[in-house]
Structure 1
Amino acid sequence: MPRSLTPAEDARLLYAEDLIVHACMARSGLRFVAEPLAASSRPAAEQRYGTADVAAARAHGYGYSETPAGQRQAEAMSRDPNEAYQRTLSADAQRVYETALYGTPDRRSQVELPDGQGLVISTEGCVAEARERLYGDDLRGYLVSQHVSANLEGHIAQDVRETAAYRSALDGWRACMMNRGFSVATPQEARQRGETAAREGGRAAEIRVAVADAECGQGHRLLATAVALEQDRLVDAGPELVALVREFRICRLASLPKARELIRAESRGSGAGG
């Protein structure tokens, strides 16, 4: 099975999509803002189940102290500038804007997913143009594999958290964290405690929480247990779903060079303009 994208790679692809949408909308005289997206430095599995990277925890904590306070506040209060702009438009102008983005509603089609759900797909508009440029001409296939992958990963993560093996590892992690002076129920709560510590006590306080989290996670194999269980459940999902996940990951990985070149071209153009 090909690997999943890192959060930074995922953010890169989304930014590249937005750059194409920006250019497409501009051809119709419409505004669309393309901005680089913030990405967590931690892989998705670590965000779900906690970390075992003790060296990174000792060096960087969770990374909160290394992010300027103003940036953290801006990210917490940020909203999609394109949605905000669209709300300023009249009803007629909003319809024109949405049609430019997604095509006309009556040209959208519905496909049936392997689980019997229906997925509405638009193959027109600037968003479709961006996805076709990055991911290829089979836009329907890409969107189906994207939807299946996201849903399956969510179901698997929920299932993993309910297994006896993961609960046992989590119990050991909690007891270890309690012995270190941190009463937290989940790795997500530990990260929140680390964020609070960074804000109120500074970098050293944040690092204490992160190191305890990582050492307890490593000692009780919390992340390793969860990742192994995820792999087992992915195989158990059946060949049709596994094939769709594989297609989605291959497509995303193959699109990274295109995204990098688009972003480099935008950076060169911005530099020349500045």
Structure 2
Amino acid sequence: MVRAARFVSTVALSMCVAATVAGCADGAGRDDAGETRSVPRSARAQDDLLKSAESALVRRCLTERKITPPPAPRPAANGTGQVGTAQDGGSPPQRRFPYGIDDPAWAAEHGFGSAAGTGAEARPTQQARQAPPQERRPGKKAMAAQRRLSDALFGTGRRELSTRTATGYVVRANSDGCLAEAQRELYGDQARWFRTEVAVNNLEAATHQRVIRDPAYRTALARWSRCIAPVQKAGDPGELRSAWQRRASDLEPRDATSLQQRYAVAEARCVRSTALARTGTELEKRHAADVREAYAGQIADHRRMRERGLRIAVLQGL
């Protein structure tokens, strides 16, 4: 579930920002040291700027409401902001395998590892983190503080905003918290931003959904299922992972790891021999174009609001 923020009147500031943006089409501004700043060119740098600007505005809003903002995340030593990479002895490197692992050597080394995508239809999940017995549960005071922070950040009461994703799931949000206030300041219309952001963020999932429902993919998947059957009966790679998890729960860690590698290698060999991944990738190109055409209007709206947010972030030095 997505939650969002309460309307806090910022008419004077919005008018000022709009006038400034209108008078500075290239989005150039100056930082605190007086150095000229401009909108970055790369998509990744633009994403980072918008995240930074949104975070700065949220923290400002929380401070104004006398709520202590949460600690800012510490960047990793490698500068990626990610923790636990293969280089520092953490989890294995993540690879995208949306239509099943197709690299037997990788599977032999990492098992299922951090392979993103299983070839099965993605569905929203709710994951509840259970604290180990030795962890002390937060006291009432700490829980009350967490609740105040959550309410100030995401809003309270009925979720006024609602939209349906391209994959058919309904996402709702509030419009009465600091997150929504920051989005209004950056993008102008928080409700419209919410709808287009949800739509654009789910285009890849919508494309994947169309691929795995395509008759050509279903034919390749049936071949894969017959290929994997001598090792483990499974309708798709997602079912193979589930079967491993069920069996691994009764095994010693070393045996569970060995079984995982065996299943992962079998998956990869069958994906290779049945051309499952290649079929999915080829279908993806066609379906992605169809999905983007169907959502062209929302994609254009999203791009325009991003451009507005980037200009404001630069002009305000966020």
Which TM-score band (shorter chain)? 0.5 to 0.7
Residue from 58, 62, 69 that aligns with 1:25:
62
In the alignment, which of 101, 115, 137 is matched to residue 187 of structure 2? 137
CA distance in 2 between partners of 1:222 and 1:114 (Å):
27
**Shift of residue 88 of structure 1?**
4.9
- For 1:168, which of 214, 219, 222 is the aligned residue? 219
**Which of 93, 100, 112 is equivalent to 1:50?**
100
Structure 1: gaps spanning 5 or more residues: 65-75, 259-274
Rg larger for: 2
Q: Deviations over 1:161-216 (max 9, x none)?
A: 2221111110111111113x221111101122344448542322211110111111
- Contact kept in structure 1, 2:165 and 2:171, CA below 8 Å: no
Distance 1:22 1:221, change over 3 A: farther
Find the aligned partners of 2:163 and 2:243 in 1 and give their Cα distance.
Answer: 43
Q: Is the 8 A contact 1:194 1:207 kept in 2?
A: no
Instruction: State whether residues 174 and 185 of structure 1, in contact with CA within 8 Å, keep that contact through their aligned partners in structure 2.
Output: yes
Matched, 1:237 2:291: yes
Quote the residue 1:63 is aligned against: 113
Relative to structure 1, is the Cα distance of residues 129 and 182 closer, same or farther in structure 2, using a 3 angstrom cutoff? same
Distance in structure 1 (CA, Å) of the matches to 2:56 and 2:224: 43
In 2, Cα distance between equivalents of 1:37 and 1:131: 28
Q: Structure 1 CA distance, aligned partners of 2:263 and 2:165?
A: 43
Match of 1:215 in 2: 269
Q: 1:55 to 1:119 in 2, by over 3 A?
A: closer
Within the candidate set 204, 208, 225, 1:157 is matched to: 208
Please give the per-residue CA displacement for 1:97-118, whole angstroms capped at 9, x wherever unaligned: 5652245879x97698899x99
Q: 1:149 & 1:166 partners in 2: Cα distance? A: 24
Q: Compute the displacement of 1:125 (Å).
A: 3.1
Could you tell me whether the CA contact under 8 Å between 1:22 and 1:34 is conserved in 2? no
How far has the Cα of 1:60 moved from its partner?
0.7
Question: Aligned residues, how many?
Answer: 221
TM-score (norm 2): 0.49
For structure 2, list consecutive stretches of 5 or more residues without a partner in the other structure. Answer: 1-42, 74-81, 85-90, 115-126, 132-138, 314-318
- Aligned residue for 1:127? 179
5 Å matches for 1:1-40? 25=62, 28-30=66-68, 32=70
Percentage identity across paired residues of the two chains:
25
Q: 2:94 aligns with which of 30, 41, 54?
A: 41
Contact 1:24-1:126 within 8 A present in 2 as well? yes
Structure 2 partner of 1:189: 239
Instruction: State the partner residue of 1:224.
Output: 278
Aligned to 1:263: none
Residue by residue over 1:49-71, the C-alpha shift from the partner in whole angstroms, topping out at 9 and shown as x without a partner, is 3221222111111128xxxxxxx
Contact 1:177 1:184 survives alignment (8 Å)? yes
CA RMSD of aligned residues (A): 5.2
Is the contact made by 2:67 and 2:149 (CA closer than 8 Å) also made in structure 1?
no
CA contact (8 A) 1:170 1:186 kept: yes
Residue pair 2:99, 2:277 contacting (<8 A) in 1 also: yes
Question: What is the match of residue 261 of structure 1?
Answer: none
Contact 2:112 2:261 in 1 (8 A): yes
| Cα distance in 2 for residues equivalent to 1:213 and 1:37 | 28
1:177 aligns with 2:228: yes
